[in-house]
């Protein structure tokens, strides 16, 4: 019978595997859920925004945990890529939920919202879509801050993992 410490380590390793398997599936369900919401109504309710925000925070925490704890480099890279997709999907949802002509220079389609989120994330900008209200400017500013922090943390950890693996090679 393994000692208590080894059992805890084994159970954490199993938990890590389940997180690596379950979270991409949850991410797909999350994005599908937002698609259903926007097909059925025009605006994002505050409770939907809070739910999405909590999901993104939990996702990023799980990604950091997986990058630090999971032994598989492929899982660490996967969580990094999934994290970018989740951030872009989250902010596209927020932009689409506040996509009236009062908030933006034109009414946003789903593609416009994704393009705006991608343009903000990559700092490339978007053509012809500008925030017109305080709410819209606040959302874009929030995305810029979150993107910088998430990118630095997630890719910093990933770079540290790659460096660690490189130093272990003969």
Closest CA to 99 of 91, 110, 108, 90: 108
User: In terms of Cα–Cα distance, which of 84, 39, 40 is closest to 60?
Assistant: 84
Query: What is the rounded distance in angstroms from the CA atom of residue 62 to the CA atom of residue 60?
Result: 5
pLDDT in tens, 71-114: 677 777 777 887 888 888 888 888 887 767 788 888 888 888 88
**Residue ranges of domains in the chain:** 4-168
**Is the overall model pTM greater than 0.75, yes or no?**
no
Helix and strand element counts for the chain (H, E): 5, 0
Tokens of 59: 């996702």
List pLDDT tens digits, range 124-169: 877 788 888 888 888 888 889 888 888 888 888 888 877 877 777 6
Is-contact 66 58, C-beta < 8 A?
no
Backbone angles phi, psi at 159, to 5 degrees: -65, -40
């Amino acid at each position: 019978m393994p000692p208590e410490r080894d059992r805890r380590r084994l159970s954490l390793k199993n938990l890590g595997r389940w997180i690596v398997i379950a979270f991409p599936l949850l991410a797909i369900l999350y994005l599908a859920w937002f698609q259903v919401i926007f097909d059925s109504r025009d605006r994002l309710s505050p409770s939907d925004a809070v739910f999405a925000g909590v999901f993104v925070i939990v996702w990023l925490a799980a990604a950091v945990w997986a990058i630090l704890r999971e032994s598989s480099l492929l899982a660490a890279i996967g969580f990094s890529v999934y994290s970018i997709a989740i951030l872009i999907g989250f902010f596209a949802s927020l932009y689409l939920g506040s996509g009236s002509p009062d908030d933006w220079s034109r009414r946003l389609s789903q593609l416009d919202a994704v393009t705006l989120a991608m343009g903000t994330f990559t700092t490339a900008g978007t053509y012809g879509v500008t925030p017109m209200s305080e709410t819209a400017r606040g959302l874009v500013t929030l995305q810029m801050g979150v993107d910088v922090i998430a990118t630095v943390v997630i890719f910093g950890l990933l770079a540290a993992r790659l460096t660690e693996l490189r130093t272990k090679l003969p």
